[in-house]
Amino acid sequence: MTAAAEPRPTLDAARATLRARFGFNDFRPGQERAVSSVLAGRDTLVVLPTGGGKSVCYQVPALLLPGLTVVVTPLISLMKDQVDALTARGIPATFVNSTLSPGEVAERMSRVTRGEVKLLYVAPERFDVGTAAERLRAVGVSLLAVDEAHCISEWGHDFRPSYLRVAQVREKLGWPPAVALTATATAHVRQDIVRQLRLENADTIITGFDRTNLRYHVVPTRSDAEKDEALIDVLRRHEGVAIVYASTRRNVEKVTATLERAGVSAAAYHAGLDDAHRHDVQEAFMKESVRAIVATNAFGMGIDKPNVRVVIHHAMPGTIEAYYQEAGRAGRDGKPSDVYLLHAFPDRFTHEFFIKGAHPDRATIERVYERVVRSASPSGSVQIDAGAIAGALPGKVSDREVESALRLLAKAGALASDPPNGNRAYVRLLATADRVKRELGAGAEHELGLLRALWRIAGDRLYDGVTIDLDAVPPPAGGSPRASSMRDALEGAQFVEWHRVGGGDRVTNAKRPLSAYPLDWSALDRRRSAELAKLEAVQQYAYASGCRRGFVLRYFGDPAAGRDCGGCDNCLGTHDASRRDRTTASPRAPAAKSRAKSRPVARVSTDGEEFTASAGDARLLERLRALRTGIAREEKVPAYVVFADRTLLEMAMRRPRSPYALGEIRGVGPMKIEKYGERFLALLSAAADDTEAA
């Protein structure tokens, strides 16, 4: 007779575990469905809002399932916090990552092998080398949990190559059921997660993205000084603990100093701090011994701080996903909380710079390859200096773009990097024979033996420097375990100069055209376009005149999106419209005063079409054309390369007063704003001033 299969754990058992180990009486919305699906052995995709309790969806099943649960997470710095919290509840959990010594890793894996661990947290890169997956398969993996699953998608906002190999890891683990969890995934990203992880008939659980206790605000600003002023004002008007997000380490330090000078107790948190300092800052935040934490975007992930009352973005994030996740760290206790975006249009350019650097265009990649090939020796070896290459290329190409291009070329196989040859070394004798005899006396027999062996091989050439095959040096001088320390000692005492030779970067085949390598140009373009589209969505959110909550929910495809939430600055009528008018004139409506004085109409022909414009618009159009002609002559290009007639007419009729409003006009993109925006906006501003004076 065959043994009957063990019955699967029940939802009642899950509730009992939730109460006994976690102290909660019942599951939150979405958690129950997710736990039920996981316990039934189905592949599951869970999308819960930030603070919605995603970890419970795999931690409770892990305690009820018979084998090991492997949790793949990108948050190395927070694994310890997760494991410490579980251990405090009596749950056998551990983590393995690059912060541990080989001995510590071996000890923890031994515990896993003995069946003493129920949850093992690992970073996706842990499976890139070695046999970790095969070892875990032998133990028996009942569940694979993939946290921050949006990272697995090429459309996600935190693209991470090792995540793309998680499906291969799952296969090596023996295809256990998988649960993928995220707080930020559009419909496209959800489809990508299912495809990349190869989830079979996945049960998709989406509880909605709305956090009804959050009030959304945008404060338009023109400079960092205005941002600082607005930041201090917000913190003085709101009580409670606050998180302030800044874009870079430097800005984190700068904003922290600004708050301290204003009398607001604050602490900085970023990756540049050592582990002990970061821990102290985190403890100060948790114990509320400081009012505000100023941090880069990693802060807050996995930290259960329920009573953050205010989250403020000092600079615009690059995606709605990032903004939603970071803003969602406010009000996890369900009480009313406020989230602010301090917005200035130039914030966009910083993100565009990074997107361009991460996703260079085809022409840049081709030029980088051509430059590297020209610099290579006949054997293909080449000294690669990204800065030097960037400086030698035409146009404005950054080091970051070159570095990204080099990575893509290496991934495609056009470039290779070889390790140094361990058997060959360049050796030059620096000390005279008299000095050797005088200073290497009793007790240095091994060092003298090494020098004599080298002299027998190279003779006088040793003074000029010579490449020597270390295998030809007889032991013990050549191959003994002491040989390396002897060589280091002689070099440190300035008796010899010594370094390995061989290895380094090389062109795989200098005669092979780049077109012969598997570079997916359409995929590169798609990723760049996707990142720019995400950035544009954040810009649209900042300038939205309707419900901000509805904007966010529509972005994620949430059917709960409405037109009046009663909980954002636009719906509450608290948005500072006068400040917005000073910084960015509405892109849709020309100034009423100037239009009222220009009622006579004129027929204007542009690009083969005829339009009806005011006489004032027609006069302004001629001034814009004159400016365009001057620029075209300076740059020695046809006038239409600067701006088309149709674009100039739209400028004359809409009269933008800000870079954002200018960017709303057809034919005006970020690059043209950067090149020509200041001159055209100056003309348009002067024209408006002339009209008002009249």
Confidence (pLDDT) at 300: 55
From residue 56, give the alpha-carbon distance in Å to each of 27, 30, 523. 9, 11, 36
Are 340 and 327 a contacting pair, CB within 8 Å? no
Structure tokens that stand for 324 in this block: 């939603």
Q: How high is the pLDDT of residue 1?
A: 40
Q: Where are the alpha helices (DSSP H) in 469-520?
A: 482-492
For residue 586, pLDDT beyond 70 = no
- Is the pLDDT assigned to residue 116 strictly greater than 80? yes
Q: 69 lies in a domain? A: yes
Strand-pair category, 337-343 with 292-295: unpaired
pLDDT over 70 percentage in the chain: 86
**To which H or E segment does residue 241 belong?**
strand 241-245
Q: How far, in Å, CA of 467 to CA of 498, rounded?
A: 10
Q: Is the pLDDT of residue 590 over 50?
A: no
Q: How far apart are alpha carbons 10 and 312 in whole angstroms?
A: 43
What is d(CA 648, CA 679) in angstroms, rounded to the nearest whole number? 13
> Can you give the pLDDT at residue 238?
92
Alpha carbon 221 to its chain's center: 25
Asked if residue 510 lies in contact with residue 374, where contact means CB atoms within 8 angstroms, the answer is no
87 and 138 in a common domain: yes
Query: Residue 397: its pLDDT value, please?
Result: 85
Is the residue at 5 inside a domain?
no
Peptide bond preceding 476 in cis form (omega within 30 of 0): yes
3-state secondary structure of 1: coil
User: Buried (b) or exposed (e) across 599-629, using 16+ Cβ within 10 A?
Assistant: eeeeebebeeeebebbebbbebbeebbebbe
Q: Report the alpha-carbon distance of residue 132 to residue 592 in Å, rounded.
A: 69
Residue 298's pLDDT is what? Answer: 60
- CATH code, domain with 672: 1.10.150.80
* Mean of pLDDT values over 647-654: 85
Q: Which residue has the higher pLDDT, 491 or 359?
A: 359
Q: Which residue has the higher pLDDT, 662 or 474?
A: 662
426 — pLDDT class (breaks 50, 70, 90): confident
Query: Could you tell me the pLDDT band of residue 691, with boundaries at 50, 70 and 90?
Result: low
**What would the pLDDT profile of 406-425 be if each residue is shown by its tens digit?**
989 988 889 887 665 556 67
36 and 171 inside one domain: yes
Cα gap 18→32, rounded to integer Å: 11
Strand pairing of 424-429 and 214-220? unpaired
Do 482 and 406 lie in one domain? The reply is no
- Give the Cα separation of 647 and 607 in Å (integer): 10
CA 336 to chain centre: 30
Q: What is the mean pLDDT of residues 126-131?
A: 80
Judged by DSSP in three states, 319 sits in coil
- CATH number of the domain that residue 565 is part of: 3.40.50.300
Look-up of token digits 């009480």? 335
Residue 569 lies in a domain: yes
Same domain, 93 and 191: yes
Count up the domains in the chain and report the number: 5
Q: Which residues pair with 498 in a beta bridge?
A: 427
First to last CA, the chain: 101
Mean of pLDDT values over 537-548: 90
Position 366 scores a pLDDT of 93
In a domain, 1, yes or no: no
The pLDDT of residue 253 is 92
pLDDT tier at 63, thresholds 50, 70, 90 = very high
Residue 612: pLDDT over 80: no
Residue 589 pLDDT more than 50?
A: no
Q: Are strands 424-429 and 496-500 parallel, antiparallel or unpaired?
A: antiparallel
For the ranges 21-25, 150-154, 253-257, 518-522, the lowest mean pLDDT is seen at 150-154
The runs of H, that is alpha helices, within 158-267 are: 166-172, 187-197, 224-237, 249-261
Per DSSP, the three-state class of 411 is helix
Closest to 178 measured CA to CA, from 156, 155, 196: 196
Name, in order, each residue with C-beta under 8 angstroms of 110's C-beta and a sequence gap of 6 or more: none
Q: Which of 345, 414, 419 is nearest to 580 (CA)?
A: 345
Cα gap 605→489, rounded to integer Å:
83
Cα–Cα distance between 516 and 507 in angstroms, integer? 14
Query: Does residue 538 lie in a domain region?
Result: no
| Residue of 217 and 397 predicted with greater confidence | 217
φ/ψ of 318, rounded to 5, equals -85, -15
Q: Do 38 and 101 reside in the same domain of the chain?
A: yes
The per-residue pLDDT of the chain, averaged, comes to 82
User: What single-letter amino acid sits at 369?
Assistant: Y
Residue 583: what pLDDT? 37
Q: Which two tokens stand for residue 619?
A: 């006069």
Amino acid, res. 12: D
Contact 535/356 with Cβ under 8 angstroms? Answer: no
Residue 338 confidence class, pLDDT cut points 50, 70, 90:
very high
pLDDT 10s digits, 433-468: 778 777 776 667 777 878 888 888 888 888 877 777
- Whether 65 and 151 share a structural domain: yes
Instruction: Assess whether 290 and 373 both reside in one domain.
Output: no
Does any domain span residue 3?
no
For 90, 116, 249, the CA distances from 110, given in Å and listed in that order, are: 20, 9, 39
pLDDT digits 0-9 by tens, 500-516? 666 678 888 888 899 99
At residue 592 the predicted structure's pLDDT band, cuts being 50, 70 and 90, is: very low
Picking from 502, 444, 499, 437, the residue whose alpha carbon sits closest to that of residue 477 is 444
Backbone angles phi, psi at 228, to 5 degrees: -60, -40
pLDDT the model gives residue 613: 60
Phi–psi pair at 295, nearest 5 degrees: -145, 160
Model pLDDT, residue 463: 81
Structure tokens at 494: 């300035």
Q: Are residues 658 and 527 in the same domain?
A: no
Which residues, at least 6 apart from 361, have a Cβ–Cβ distance to it below 8 Å?
524, 525, 528
Residues in the chain: 694
Residue 242 is which amino acid?
Answer: A
Which stretches of 314-397 are assigned E, i.e. beta strand? 337-343
**Is the pLDDT at 261 greater than 90, yes or no?**
yes
With 60 as the cut, is the pLDDT of residue 599 above it?
no
Higher pLDDT, 257 or 454: 257
Residues 412 and 430 in one domain: no
For 220-243, write each residue's pLDDT tens digit: 998 889 999 999 999 999 989 999
Residues near 549 by beta carbon (within 8 Å), at least 6 away in sequence? 210, 214, 216, 561, 562, 565, 567, 568, 571
For residue 275, pLDDT over 60 is answered with yes
- Is position 2 within any domain? no
Which residues lie below 8 Å from residue 127, measured CB to CB, with a gap of 6+? 133, 162, 165, 166, 169, 172
The whole-angstrom separation of Cα 519 and Cα 414 is 10
By the 8 A CB rule, do 320 and 538 touch? yes
- Taking the CB of residue 392, how many other CB atoms lie within 10 A of it? 15
Please, which pLDDT band fits residue 475 given cuts at 50, 70 and 90? low
Residue 578's pLDDT band (cuts 50, 70, 90): very low
Tens of pLDDT, residue by residue over 150-202, are: 887 765 545 567 777 888 899 999 999 999 998 877 788 888 889 888 998 88
What is the span of the domain harbouring residue 626? 584-693
Higher pLDDT, 19 or 424: 19
Residues 50 and 32 in one domain: yes
Q: What is the pLDDT of residue 74?
A: 79
Q: What is the pLDDT of residues 294-319, one digit of tens each?
A: 988 766 554 667 889 999 999 899 88
Q: Does residue 539 form part of some domain? A: no
Decide which of 175, 190, 206 is a domain's last residue.
Answer: 206
Query: How many Cα atoms occupy the beta-carbon half-sphere of 52 within 13 Å?
Result: 25
Does residue 328 contact residue 51 with C-beta atoms inside 8 Å?
Answer: yes
Phi (first) and psi of residue 121, to 5 degrees: -95, 130
- Verify that 249 and 317 share a domain, yes or no: yes
**412 with 314, same domain?**
no
